[in-house]
Amino acid sequence: MQFQLSRFQRQLSKSIVASGEVHDQRTHLLLEVRHEGVRGFGEISPQPQSLNGDPGCDDVEVELTLLLSAVVAAYEREGAMPHWSRISRFQGSRPASAPAALLIEMALLDWHLRSEGRALASEWPAQFETGAMETRSALSSDWAPVAGETVQLRVKLKRAPLAVAVIDRLHEIDLPVLLDYNCAAPTTEEVQLHLSSLVGVAVVAVEQPYAPGNVVEHALLAQAIGVRVSLDEGVRSRRDLDHIARYGAASMVCLKPARLGGYSVARSCAEHAHGLGLTPYIGGFFEDVLGRSVNRTLARASVAAPSDVAGPTFVGLQDWRADETGLGWVPGPSFHAVVIGSFGSTGE
């Protein structure tokens, strides 16, 4: 069993300004596993730097060296490829461990499916007609056209009043809107001001106004406004879902597989959220073609609410080649990525 870790960069077609950073390009991590003549691939897009409890890309790379060593050791000890659904058990308590575990899980899931000649949809059959959510920034009215598959818009904003041009655009687009604060910590009055300026716009929810773990202020806000509250950065485990439901901090939750530590965990959390009376939806971190495709299949198998599964919004195209087995995509002959390191069993 051999792993190869690489990185590549993509430029977004339009910059997206959030409360704490500007998204204009992303570094993606690509993991390839080779075993018994079969290849598997995983791809994630961590934050550039640590923010709001999420690790930076460099931190994830360091964590990957630790987790890959543990996975290789398990293979040498057991004499068999670890099943993809076990990988979440290898992760530690460090923030970077969750996205690192997801990347390894993803590559092994691809390998297992390809070794059996199966496609991802056979593992996760569609249960819902989950709609696509796209992201725009209220700090700019120069928005890219909205794709035809989009049924909901996520709008990133800060504490400042919404510009007239932005309000006009939201009325023109005429889609339901989720207001994403990314922990900007607005006052209740500021949230109410934003809502009052969007009369006539279907506001689905306000997402993560306050810091992760702050269930009390989110619960108070939920009581004060006539719009649902959703939590994103504050959802990292099943225990977080229990706290959110117990305090009434939100009625919607964004489940990001890279933040939860894997697809197996995300699917479990979706089922748990439904059982708690919460509305889950799937989120992402600006993944490229492979990661976004897997998130789309995951969403349709797990949640009904519109999710962050619209197509990539990058300049140009990396050379991804469609494939009928595995996760559905493999790097093509002109795919460019810089190799970071290799890991493998001494027995091969």
User: Over the stretch 115-153, which tens digit does the pLDDT of each residue have?
Assistant: 999 999 999 999 999 999 999 999 877 788 898 899 999
Nearest to 103 by CA among 55, 58, 68: 68
**Over 60: is that where the pLDDT of 332 sits?**
yes
Chain centroid, CA 345 distance in Å: 31
Query: CB 94: neighbour CB atoms within 10 A?
Result: 14
* Residue 281 domain flag: yes
The predicted pLDDT at position 250 comes to 98
Q: Are strands 329-331 and 38-44 parallel, antiparallel or unpaired?
A: unpaired
Q: Are residue 27 and residue 68 in the same domain, yes or no?
A: yes
Q: What's the rounded Cα separation, in Å, for the pair 86 and 71?
A: 10
Q: Are residue 69 and residue 110 in the same domain, yes or no?
A: yes
* Residue 27 domain flag: yes
Range of the domain at 282: 122-302
Q: Are residue 170 and residue 296 in the same domain, yes or no?
A: yes
Q: Are residue 214 and residue 280 in the same domain, yes or no?
A: yes
Structural tokens at position 131:
């709609």
**Over 70: is that where the pLDDT of 78 sits?**
yes
* Residue 314 domain flag: no
Q: Are residue 83 and residue 156 in the same domain, yes or no?
A: no
Tell me which amino acid residue 298 is: L
Q: Are residue 171 and residue 192 in the same domain, yes or no?
A: yes
Q: Are residue 192 and residue 291 in the same domain, yes or no?
A: yes
Look up the CATH number of the domain holding residue 109: 3.30.390.10
Q: What's the rounded Cα separation, in Å, for the pair 205 and 49?
A: 27
**Over 80: is that where the pLDDT of 94 sits?**
yes
Look up the CATH number of the domain holding residue 187: 3.20.20.120
Q: Are residue 188 and residue 259 in the same domain, yes or no?
A: yes
* Residue 309 domain flag: no
Please count the helices (runs of H) and the strands (runs of E) in the chain.
10, 13
How many residues make up the chain in this entry? Answer: 348
Q: Are residue 265 and residue 222 in the same domain, yes or no?
A: yes
Query: Where do runs of H (alpha helix) occur along 38-152?
Result: 57-78, 97-115, 120-123
The predicted pLDDT at position 77 comes to 93
The predicted pLDDT at position 225 comes to 96
Domain count, the chain: 2
Q: Are residue 126 and residue 245 in the same domain, yes or no?
A: yes
* Residue 310 domain flag: no
Measured CA angle at 132 (ends 128, 137), to 5 deg = 150
The predicted pLDDT at position 317 comes to 75
